[in-house]
Amino acid sequence: MSYTGPDFEPSQPHRSPLRRALTVAVAALVPGALLGWGVYAAVGGPGEGDGGGSGRAGGAGTPAAPSSGAPASGAPASSPGDGDGDGKKPAGSSPAPTSKAPSASGPALPASGPLTGKVVVIDPGHNPANFRHASEINRKVNVGTHWKECDTTGTATNAGWPEAKFTLDVAHRLRTLLQEQGATVKLTQDGDRSFGPCVDERARIGNEAKADAAISIHADGSGAGNRGFHVIMPGSVHDGAADTRAIVAPSAELGERVAGAFVRVTGTAPSNYLGDGTGLVTRTDLGGLNLSTVPKVFIECGNMRDRTDAALLTSGSWRQKAAQGMSEGIVSFLRG
Residues with a catalytic annotation lie at 300
The C-alpha atoms of residue 134 and residue 306 are separated, in whole angstroms, by 27
Rg (CA), the chain: 25
The answer to whether 161 touches 66, Cβ cutoff 8 Å, is yes
Total Cβ atoms within 10 A of residue 11: 8
Q: CA neighbours within 13 Å on the CB side: how many for 318?
A: 18
The answer to whether 207 touches 294, Cβ cutoff 8 Å, is yes
How many angstroms from the chain centroid is the CA of residue 314?
Answer: 12
Pairing of strands 140-142, 147-149: antiparallel
The C-alpha atoms of residue 156 and residue 181 are separated, in whole angstroms, by 32
C-alpha dist (Å) from residue 26 to 1, 4, 31, 224, 300: 20, 20, 9, 64, 58
Angle between helices 248-266 and 316-335 (to 10 degrees): 140
- Phi-psi label, residue 236: left if phi above 0, alpha if psi -120 to 50, beta otherwise: beta
Q: CA neighbours within 13 Å on the CB side: how many for 71?
A: 4
**Residue 49 neighbours by CB under 8 Å, 6+ apart:** 55, 56, 57, 316
Burial category of 13 from C-beta neighbours within 10 Å (exposed 0-12, middle 13-18, buried 19 and up): exposed
DSSP 304-336: TTSHHHHHHHT-HHHHHHHHHHHHHHHHHHHH-
